[in-house]
Structure 1
Amino acid sequence: MPRFSVIVPAYRVQAYLHACLDSVLNQSFKDYEIIVVDDCSPDACGPIADEYAARDPRVGVVHLPHNSGLGPARNAGVARASGDYLLFLDGDDTFTPEALQTIADRLEATADPDVLVYDYARTYWSGESERNTFAHHLAETGPGSFRLAERPELLKVLMVVWNKAYRREFIEAEGFTFPPGYYEDTPWTYPVLMAAGSIAVLDAVCVGYRQRRRGNILSTTTRRHFDVFDQYDRVFAFIDARPELALWRPVMFRRMLDHFSTLYTSQARLPRGTRAPFFRRARAHCRRYRAPGAPVPGRTRLRHALFRLGAHRTYRALWAAQQLRRRLRRGNATLRRAVRGTALQVHYRVQLRLPVRPGEAVFAAYWNRGYTCSPAALEATARALVPGLRTSWICRPEDAHTVPAATRVLHPGTFAYWTALARSKYLVNNVNFDHRLVKRRGQVLLQTHHGTPLKTMGTDLVHRPAAAGSMDFAQLLRNIDKWDFSLSANQHSTLVWERAYPSGYTTLEYGSPRNDVFHRVDSAETARLRERLAIPAGSTALLYAPTHRDYRRDQHHPLDLDRLVRVLGPRFVVLARSHYLDETARTTAGHTRHPRIIDVSAHPSVEELCLASDALITDYSSLMFDYVNLDRPVVLHLEDRQAYEAARGTYFDLEAFPPGAVARDPEELHEIFATDHWRGPRSTQRRAAFRARFCPYDDGHAAERVVRRIFLDDTSGLPLPVPLTSRGPTGVPRQVPVREYTNG
């Protein structure tokens, strides 16, 4: 029998469940079991829990056949528990280091009370934490254990289930269970504390209470908030069944009215048209359970009186007046925003009042550069599959030549540009649109991203100033809130995006549309690409594509290409591709004089460069995740790994799980090619494992899946992913046997 049973309900928390379970398994105190209850979660919560259970016998998993809600999920966990004490931890929260040892020590010191109440801290995406404001009520003074009547102020601590440890025998003897519906904590925590024969407190933060940017389920707008009335019915029924608890009736009455008031005045919880019915229900509860006697602060007496009288209009008027005063305090800033604007913005505001055009779509990529990446693949597929769709592409004038003739070109900052943003139904980008974009009802915004994340991204950069630079995180979050859909190439990307870009969008784990071309170009077209790039016949072309270094002003990369081509010999050609952010590197790359270094930095399509090459040399670029779809060698040159990790950071150890051979200095890189290790069996095995993990949906149909789902609203006819073993060959350039190692 373990000391603790840690019960973790899991529903739509796949981005946080790893951290939650790791926070338990990494505790120094080891006498526990973990029971994860998969509440029929539609995301990867179930498989993640099964993965942990396969690795550690202390982890058990309960898969519920249908979604039941937090209360029934916790009941399922309690039914499986065998520990002395029950601890609850929501799937997006974490235990602090040493929390279990601290709890165990306090339980022993207080002679195993029925309930131990410990502290928590609210944790935010920025890494900031804020301790419970009522922590002083947990001071470890006086008797080690007590009854609630001796310290009634304990009820001011947040009444949730997960900041307490419960003696399992006490819970079973009293028959406590969680009810269904919202606010299921209410009829659990109050009765448990009132019935407990002994309570102890622990003045230590044991739980990190994650504050998700879009709030928890209780922040959603739904009539299910009316469940609160049923929950208080259960609380008062419990009190009425036990005459000795009658002293708590006034306290519960006051807390009930406070709870009703909070829900009523919340902007986002009650749907339109339901406030009056909510007020009537609250009035009925006031009359049914009225029990004067509990002290009420002066500022809340009026609210309570209005509830009892049923004065809905008066309450609403006072609430509106309070809101108006708040708006007036912010008046100057609001006024400046209201009167600002140029002719373009006036035009945009006018367009926003006109109907959205259902047959129009706007695409863009890389801050309005040329026709490229996944938005380009989606634009071409949408034109082919969606009848009557009119597409537009936003780009700079110098990139207009890259846009297909059938697609309308929009230049940023023009009247046509703002008209399209205001009235097109579909908005597709691999970065964010202009921050002044107003996301209208009826518009659909798809964020495609631009590659599988290896380097740290989004809000994860808040503690990496060298990489974040002048990034405005507040504006970033406002942009994220406009997304309806986030496209993901694999589960790794899904987990990173949902954490690094936290909001309420829907993730589409469909693959990377920009890689579809790899499955549609044959060897003849590949040969033509090589010819256009002036790759000599019979040569082995190495695409060198390093990523951007945030920690360097000068984007001079550690690899000496002139020396590389001299060492490798005349049969090798290097296609040098600078990162699109490295303007200095682009400028200097074209001045190389070696005939076997071809500067392809200005080439509009990196996918064509991948098809034309025989192998890729890179460092931390996400291009490696795309390139392995071609099943061609990848070589990593990681000479500055320590500096890069310190400045930018990565999401996994690339050396431990690479897509091919790894070189840590130029000499090792030369040796890899000299010995044919770059395309040997070990490199092939690594590439296969890498491809299996990161390319499950890159089968040539990713764009079709997205277009059918977004533009055609077709969820049943999506092409199923083609297994890796069944995928056909991609365009394969001619490779020649190369075993030369010279200094020529």
Structure 2
Amino acid sequence: MQELSVIVYGQDVQGHLADCLDSVNGQLPEGAELVVAAVDDPAPTADVPGRVTVLALPRATSDEDARAAGGERASGAWLLFVHAKDRVPPGALRALQERIAALPDGADRVGRVDVVLADHVRSTWNTSGVPGPDARPLARAGGRDLALADCPDLLRVTPLLGNRALRAAFWQEHRDQLAATDEGFAARAALVLADRVTALQQVVLDERRLRPASLPPLTEEEHYATVGRYEDLQRLMADHGTPTGPRAVLYDVMATECMRIVARAAMPEPVGREFFRRASRAAVAWRPEGYRRPAGLEGIRRRLLEEDAYSRYRAFQSVNHKRRDLKSAVRERKRRVGAKVRAHRYQRELRRPVDPDLAVFSSYWDRGVSCNPAAIAAKLAELAPRIHQVWVVRSADVPLLPPGTDHVVPGSRRYWEVMARATYFVNNVNFPNGVVKRPEAVHVMTHHGTPLKRMGLDQMEYPAASKGLNFRQLLARVDKWDYSISSNSHSTRTWDRAYPTHCVPLEYGYPRNDVFYRATAADIRAVRERLGIAPGRRALLYAPTHRDYEASWTPRLDLAALAERLGDDTVLLVRGHYFYGAAASPLTDLRRSGRVIDVSTYDPVEDLCLAADALVTDYSSIMFDYAGLDRPIVIYADDWEMYAKTRGVYFDLIAEAPGPVARTQEELTETFTSGAWRDEASAKARAAFRRRFCEFDDGHAAERVVRRVFLGEHEASLPPVIPVDERTPAPSPEEAARR
């Protein structure tokens, strides 16, 4: 095993050092070390356990000198430099270590890999984990060991040291170019100087981008230094004998960034003119032989740059802005005219009679046939086939529809015709604001989960949850409801409070959960076979929820480590925004062996529940549905306090959980290896949870909805709700295998 040294360096910018250290030290692979080259205050590192070296550097130490000092003290064969303001996502170090372990030891200088280049995400003060632009060049490189000339576009990868690991011997050999230099220069210089580079399609860095307003403004010389760094890189390439391909890519990157700075940076006029002059001189001096300017407007900008025509460039920029504004105005006029035409057609259709046998269905903002609306539609086709069903589906999802599904695309001519004349409207979210509620129309809100998190008006106190939500418009949509479906009394009370409107609560259970009481042993065996779960293996469904304060899904578990600890007889069904990438993922071998199965896009989710022996989730409403199966549920609540504070919750899940609660990955692993996931205490907690939240789910919900809403039957004639203790859910996978 070639050991890895993670070097956290630099000043504790805006107090982020402690977060950075937590993110690293919590996942250090065996044999790896952490070197902290912290400027000013070593206090955040005082309690860091494990294999750690702490260098408390003087206040005046620059980032470059801190990085150099950290590199000198590192003992690993590979070095990863992480700035103190950034973070390392869970599982990243393990993936990096495994990629490094697969490389030759580097004793032979010829043809050795010196740099492992990986992906990264970005976070700001109000976003978290936003994907960067580097996935495409990394994918083109694949997992091969390449010379830079073989894939020069790697120079377009964001120039950070935190997204590339460097062989220690390589670092020492080129310390002058890599240690005491600007990070952007060092990052690209490493690619130029490396004998070979390999790409890793795995996020290994969460780069924190600080608010520009929180930083001191750039000086004149700092602006000019951008051009100087590119010229230094070009000189390095010339001295190193770098082929034309990489030099042309770097030239293109240089010209693009310089033009972007001229266009967007708020430089005083004299500074802007001097920056343009220096960029022009560099563009002429370093233009590769045979290089051709881009076509179109960018080509014109490049020509003006090479000619040092600053005044003409500013005039061209002004004309281009006016042209862009004019095009935008024309597009806006066309949009308004189109909207008026559609509105006129819609109003004309609204004057026609309502079709008593026309029903409109939609689910999850027009994403297809699923959830409660799909279960109601299936039962409606069985009990009242005379009623014609039309689904509203986005154009991108039309190819995924079941064969023969009548559908309309939002905004199309037929869409407005159907929306104007239908009698029944069924959705698990609201229909758009522009849909008119006719007196004869019947709107059924099915919802799509039991609320743990705050909903509706209850979100007003939680800005992270309600960002962009217009509560007046929300209430206008809510006022169109005639019926609101719930699966338990908790939901009924919550909907009544969060969505104050006059509608009839239907305490019938969730139609989508009917299958949990109707599926047979044969059905469960068939689902597991479709998913590729071998007979006799334990399947754990891992289904985390979304965090409103994060722009994309942040991985909270090291799935590779979890799968390894649980052994070959366990398979993980992972449902979420899959974060490990495609073929180059460190989980590739696990997926091939069937130990991890990506089910992020698999529908229906009810099939996954039927196939799973147990559920692992955090705060997702899937726990309330899965409880109906009376199978083990484990809560992984590593950030419960943050979630409860930012999203708002209706009850304390930790105190009223449906089973064991793990706060760390080690606790989660121990829950399964010790058998606590299905012991007597777990069964007792699940029974209480099931009685409370599966109150009306008994396998007849869809039938009750159809008979009451579509057939107009009286409440007393509907199938009564079977008490929880008298229900028999679908057999477990273990039971199904024996039948």
After TM superposition, the score normalised by the length of structure 2 is 0.52
In the alignment, the residues of structure 1 paired with residue 687 and residue 398 of structure 2 have an alpha-carbon distance, to the nearest angstrom, of: 38
> Are 1:686 and 2:672 counterparts?
no
**Which residue of structure 1 lines up, in the alignment, with residue 218 of structure 2?**
none
> Are 1:373 and 2:381 counterparts?
no
Tell me the amino acid that sits aligned with residue 675 of structure 1. Answer: S
In the comparison of the two structures, how many residue pairs are matched?
397
Query: Which structure carries more relative contact order (alpha carbon 8 Å, separation 6+)?
Result: 2
**Which residue of structure 2 lines up, in the alignment, with residue 641 of structure 1?**
640
Report % sequence identity: 49
Distance verdict in 2 for CA 1:735–1:542, change over 3 Å? farther
In the alignment, the residues of structure 2 paired with residue 480 and residue 623 of structure 1 have an alpha-carbon distance, to the nearest angstrom, of: 24
1:535 to 497, 514, 533: 533
Residue pair 2:376, 2:511 contacting (<8 A) in 1 also: yes
Residue pair 1:516, 1:700 contacting (<8 A) in 2 also: yes
Note the 1:103-122 alignment, pairs <5 A: none
**Which residue of structure 2 lines up, in the alignment, with residue 721 of structure 1?**
721
In the alignment, the residues of structure 2 paired with residue 381 and residue 553 of structure 1 have an alpha-carbon distance, to the nearest angstrom, of: 38
Shift of 1:344: 2.3
**Which residue of structure 2 lines up, in the alignment, with residue 273 of structure 1?**
none
2:482 to 457, 466, 484: 484
Residue pair 1:402, 1:604 contacting (<8 A) in 2 also: no
Residue pair 2:443, 2:483 contacting (<8 A) in 1 also: yes
Tell me the amino acid that sits aligned with residue 730 of structure 1. Answer: A
Distance verdict in 2 for CA 1:724–1:589, change over 3 Å? farther
In the alignment, the residues of structure 2 paired with residue 360 and residue 589 of structure 1 have an alpha-carbon distance, to the nearest angstrom, of: 46
**Which residue of structure 2 lines up, in the alignment, with residue 147 of structure 1?**
none
In the alignment, the residues of structure 2 paired with residue 667 and residue 536 of structure 1 have an alpha-carbon distance, to the nearest angstrom, of: 27
Tell me the amino acid that sits aligned with residue 421 of structure 1. Answer: M
**Which residue of structure 1 lines up, in the alignment, with residue 426 of structure 2?**
428
**Which residue of structure 1 lines up, in the alignment, with residue 441 of structure 2?**
443
Shift of 1:729: 3.6
Note the 1:503-582 alignment, pairs <5 A: 503-578=501-576, 582=577
- Cα deviation digits, residues 144-192 of structure 1 (max 9, x gap): xxxxxxxxxxxxxxxxxxxxxxxxxxxxxxxxxxxxxxxxxxxxxxxxx
- Cα deviation digits, residues 519-570 of structure 1 (max 9, x gap): 1211111111111111122210100000001112342131111111011111
Shift of 1:501: 0.7
Shift of 1:638: 0.2
In the alignment, the residues of structure 2 paired with residue 410 and residue 629 of structure 1 have an alpha-carbon distance, to the nearest angstrom, of: 34
- Cα deviation digits, residues 464-490 of structure 1 (max 9, x gap): 111112111121111111111111111
In the alignment, the residues of structure 2 paired with residue 668 and residue 500 of structure 1 have an alpha-carbon distance, to the nearest angstrom, of: 35
In the alignment, the residues of structure 1 paired with residue 385 and residue 546 of structure 2 have an alpha-carbon distance, to the nearest angstrom, of: 40
Tell me the amino acid that sits aligned with residue 703 of structure 1. Answer: A
Distance verdict in 2 for CA 1:654–1:483, change over 3 Å? same
Distance verdict in 2 for CA 1:709–1:482, change over 3 Å? same
> Are 1:676 and 2:679 counterparts?
no
Shift of 1:398: 3.6
- Cα deviation digits, residues 283-309 of structure 1 (max 9, x gap): xxxxxxxxxxxxxxxxxxxxxxxxxxx
1:362 to 353, 360, 376: 360
Note the 1:52-451 alignment, pairs <5 A: 341-451=339-449
Distance verdict in 2 for CA 1:668–1:338, change over 3 Å? closer
SS in structure 1 of the partner of residue 339 of structure 2: coil
Residue pair 1:351, 1:422 contacting (<8 A) in 2 also: yes
SS in structure 2 of the partner of residue 363 of structure 1: strand
Shift of 1:590: 9.8
**Which residue of structure 1 lines up, in the alignment, with residue 600 of structure 2?**
601
Shift of 1:728: 2.4
Tell me the amino acid that sits aligned with residue 373 of structure 1. Answer: C
**Which residue of structure 2 lines up, in the alignment, with residue 698 of structure 1?**
697
- Cα deviation digits, residues 201-222 of structure 1 (max 9, x gap): xxxxxxxxxxxxxxxxxxxxxx
SS in structure 2 of the partner of residue 341 of structure 1: helix
Distance verdict in 2 for CA 1:498–1:345, change over 3 Å? same
Residue pair 2:628, 2:729 contacting (<8 A) in 1 also: no
Tell me the amino acid that sits aligned with residue 372 of structure 1. Answer: S
Shift of 1:649: 1.6
**Which residue of structure 2 lines up, in the alignment, with residue 502 of structure 1?**
500
Distance verdict in 2 for CA 1:343–1:736, change over 3 Å? closer
In the alignment, the residues of structure 2 paired with residue 376 and residue 398 of structure 1 have an alpha-carbon distance, to the nearest angstrom, of: 19
Tell me the amino acid that sits aligned with residue 709 of structure 2. Answer: I
SS in structure 1 of the partner of residue 650 of structure 2: coil
> Are 1:457 and 2:466 counterparts?
no
SS in structure 1 of the partner of residue 359 of structure 2: strand
Distance verdict in 2 for CA 1:640–1:725, change over 3 Å? same
Shift of 1:400: 3.0
Residue pair 2:671, 2:677 contacting (<8 A) in 1 also: yes
In the alignment, the residues of structure 1 paired with residue 341 and residue 381 of structure 2 have an alpha-carbon distance, to the nearest angstrom, of: 33
Tell me the amino acid that sits aligned with residue 691 of structure 2. Answer: A
Shift of 1:573: 0.4
> Are 1:656 and 2:683 counterparts?
no
**Which residue of structure 2 lines up, in the alignment, with residue 733 of structure 1?**
733
Tell me the amino acid that sits aligned with residue 492 of structure 2. Answer: T
In the alignment, the residues of structure 2 paired with residue 435 and residue 399 of structure 1 have an alpha-carbon distance, to the nearest angstrom, of: 22
SS in structure 2 of the partner of residue 381 of structure 1: helix
Residue pair 1:363, 1:391 contacting (<8 A) in 2 also: yes
Shift of 1:506: 1.3
Distance verdict in 2 for CA 1:553–1:528, change over 3 Å? same
Tell me the amino acid that sits aligned with residue 670 of structure 1. Answer: T
Tell me the amino acid that sits aligned with residue 728 of structure 1. Answer: T
Shift of 1:717: 1.5
Residue pair 1:628, 1:691 contacting (<8 A) in 2 also: yes
2:468 to 467, 470, 480: 470
Shift of 1:675: 0.9
Residue pair 1:590, 1:599 contacting (<8 A) in 2 also: no
Alignment RMSD: 2.2
Residue pair 1:589, 1:599 contacting (<8 A) in 2 also: no
Shift of 1:726: 2.2
Residue pair 1:525, 1:731 contacting (<8 A) in 2 also: no
In the alignment, the residues of structure 2 paired with residue 469 and residue 509 of structure 1 have an alpha-carbon distance, to the nearest angstrom, of: 31
In the alignment, the residues of structure 2 paired with residue 376 and residue 394 of structure 1 have an alpha-carbon distance, to the nearest angstrom, of: 12
Shift of 1:585: 4.6
Distance verdict in 2 for CA 1:438–1:655, change over 3 Å? same
Shift of 1:587: 6.3
**Which residue of structure 1 lines up, in the alignment, with residue 227 of structure 2?**
none
Residue pair 1:518, 1:630 contacting (<8 A) in 2 also: yes
Tell me the amino acid that sits aligned with residue 440 of structure 2. Answer: G
Shift of 1:402: 4.6
In the alignment, the residues of structure 1 paired with residue 663 and residue 369 of structure 2 have an alpha-carbon distance, to the nearest angstrom, of: 35
- Cα deviation digits, residues 584-604 of structure 1 (max 9, x gap): 759679944222111101112
In the alignment, the residues of structure 2 paired with residue 554 and residue 654 of structure 1 have an alpha-carbon distance, to the nearest angstrom, of: 24
Shift of 1:575: 0.5
Shift of 1:339: 9.1
In the alignment, the residues of structure 2 paired with residue 562 and residue 550 of structure 1 have an alpha-carbon distance, to the nearest angstrom, of: 26
Tell me the amino acid that sits aligned with residue 725 of structure 1. Answer: D
Distance verdict in 2 for CA 1:719–1:491, change over 3 Å? same
Tell me the amino acid that sits aligned with residue 733 of structure 1. Answer: P
**Which residue of structure 2 lines up, in the alignment, with residue 620 of structure 1?**
619
- Cα deviation digits, residues 496-525 of structure 1 (max 9, x gap): 101101111111111111100111211111
In the alignment, the residues of structure 2 paired with residue 558 and residue 655 of structure 1 have an alpha-carbon distance, to the nearest angstrom, of: 18
- Cα deviation digits, residues 634-679 of structure 1 (max 9, x gap): 0000000111011102100111111111111111111110111101
